[in-house]
Structure 1
């Protein structure tokens, strides 16, 4: 196990460098000048703009800028926002906990409700409740997230008055219920369908017929034999979906005014604040890599036949 973990950690290095390089290149290639945009409509001396670029290191070649970014990153320096002069690390420190709460809320909702619906439908495949689940999940997949967010905001906030339409700056747990449900709805549909298919397939397996023939209680057959083998593809999806929920929070956070990393990424993209975008995306990449490693290690827990040399 130790060798496997060490090998996976080494494999993360080129993935991390490649992904951050790609994001850095995309921000470098965007049209516009973030320093010139600070002046707005005012006329600014080109020498003054050149001096500001030199101070920020924006006049250097792309690879030099990227190399300096990596060196500073490993020292805990994510760069500085050009417009406000605020360190990107401070922006991440204030926004990341909000997105973590929103993501964990959405992830819990997705896992609990999605797996429950999938098991409920998969145990009775090709019945009315199974077809009802397929229709429900197809509806959730078909409706874009921003449409679902506006509909939820209209009915639950404006019509019924159960929640506030916008989240306050504190982003308390109770305020994040509706945004989390909207954020996790698409993933819930995939989890429910994946669980339903996996349950229905494993019910027809030889080991299930053997367990029934032995006279084992149904609770043990379903809870131990069926669930452990059926959860492997679901755990794989949920592990990668954790990073997707964080990255996909841009639209949800914008609609509900949740001032997390998605909100800050959107604002940084509009203002071409490359340091902010690259810093936040770098953190999300790390979350993806760690979640992927944890999912692979969970395989051995769910299926004893899997062993890592």
Structure 2
């Protein structure tokens, strides 16, 4: 397994380099002068030139690229144009909120999605099956920002059950609505996929053999069918988890949560190029790590899988 992990990490190096190169080029060609944005429209030419020199923007693009790569190798993502604080520090301070939101979302989505998918497969073409799949389709189709605003309108401003927006004392009650809003779509996807995989597995010969041996339906479904149906589900869970960790931009913006997604939006608005590059690189690394963990988890569900 160690050799497999090492190979995956080595293959990831060109991927990270490609992401870094693309985001650097995009930030170089995007309209807007960071020095002008920092100074405003009334900045005099001498001050603008001095700021550009301090930021290294007066150097040729190739020199800026080499400087950026050399700093990146040392773990230095640069400093924010807006706050002059290290990018890695800003992302680290915001990452905890996004991590907490993502973990609760994926736990809720996995439990609800897998349970609904199993029940729908076992009770195929029943009222529960039709109702669960209708809700799943609606969950996939509903825009996140629309569902977030609906939750705010009903439960925060209408019933006053939970706080509306903000993250004042960091208590869990501020996370309830964001978790529900962000977890709806992955729960719906997991439910539909679990149902499809379970129906395919339940029609196989070894399931009929297990039933013929007199095993209970509960043992057949949970012990024999579910384990073999979980590999595609685990793949989706990993992909959704990495997406949630990369920062739920819309959800964090609607609920005013100080997470990585909201940080990325603020950086885009302010043309804060180092912060934008830093968040994109962190997102790319999260996806790579999540995919590696998903690959390694396959062996837990199928002993035939070997990492050589």
Residues 1-309 of structure 1 aligned to structure 2 (within 5 Å): 1-42=1-42, 44-247=43-246, 249-309=248-308
In structure 2, do the counterparts of structure 1 residues 169 and 60 end up closer, same or farther at CA, with 3 Å as the change threshold?
farther
* More deviation, 271-280/207-216: 207-216
CA offset at residue 29 of structure 1? 1.9
CA offset at residue 198 of structure 1? 0.7
Deviation sequence 1:191-213 (CA, Å, 0-9, x none): 11001111111110111111112
> Please, which runs of 5 or more residues in structure 1 have no aligned partner?
none
Q: Do the aligned partners of 1:171 and 1:258 also contact (CA within 8 Å) in 2?
A: no
CA offset at residue 174 of structure 1? 2.5
CA offset at residue 248 of structure 1? 5.2
In the aligned structure 1, how far is the partner of 2:281 from the partner of 2:293?
19
In structure 2, do the counterparts of structure 1 residues 13 and 209 end up closer, same or farther at CA, with 3 Å as the change threshold?
same
CA offset at residue 24 of structure 1? 2.2
CA offset at residue 263 of structure 1? 0.8
In the aligned structure 2, how far is the partner of 1:123 from the partner of 1:62?
60
In structure 2, do the counterparts of structure 1 residues 19 and 159 end up closer, same or farther at CA, with 3 Å as the change threshold?
same
Deviation sequence 1:48-90 (CA, Å, 0-9, x none): 2122112111223334323322321232321111122111122
Q: Do the aligned partners of 2:245 and 2:286 also contact (CA within 8 Å) in 1?
A: no
CA offset at residue 170 of structure 1? 4.1
CA offset at residue 220 of structure 1? 2.5
In the aligned structure 1, how far is the partner of 2:170 from the partner of 2:234?
29
CA offset at residue 149 of structure 1? 0.5
Q: Do the aligned partners of 2:112 and 2:187 also contact (CA within 8 Å) in 1?
A: yes
Deviation sequence 1:15-62 (CA, Å, 0-9, x none): 1111222222222221111110122232x2223212211211122333
In the aligned structure 2, how far is the partner of 1:118 from the partner of 1:170?
37
CA offset at residue 13 of structure 1? 0.6
The structure 1 segments of at least 4 consecutive aligned residues displaced by more than 4 Å after TM superposition are: none
In the aligned structure 1, how far is the partner of 2:20 from the partner of 2:210?
49
In the aligned structure 1, how far is the partner of 2:121 from the partner of 2:269?
45
Q: Do the aligned partners of 2:39 and 2:48 also contact (CA within 8 Å) in 1?
A: no
Equivalences, count: 308
Report the secondary structure of 2:3's partner residue: helix
Deviation sequence 1:258-300 (CA, Å, 0-9, x none): 0111111000000000111111221121111111011111111
TM-score normalised by length of structure 2:
0.96
In the aligned structure 1, how far is the partner of 2:73 from the partner of 2:11?
18
Q: CA RMSD in A?
A: 1.4
TM-score normalised by length of structure 1:
0.95
In the aligned structure 2, how far is the partner of 1:192 from the partner of 1:264?
31
> Please, which runs of 5 or more residues in structure 2 have no aligned partner?
none
In the aligned structure 2, how far is the partner of 1:196 from the partner of 1:248?
28
In the aligned structure 1, how far is the partner of 2:26 from the partner of 2:185?
28
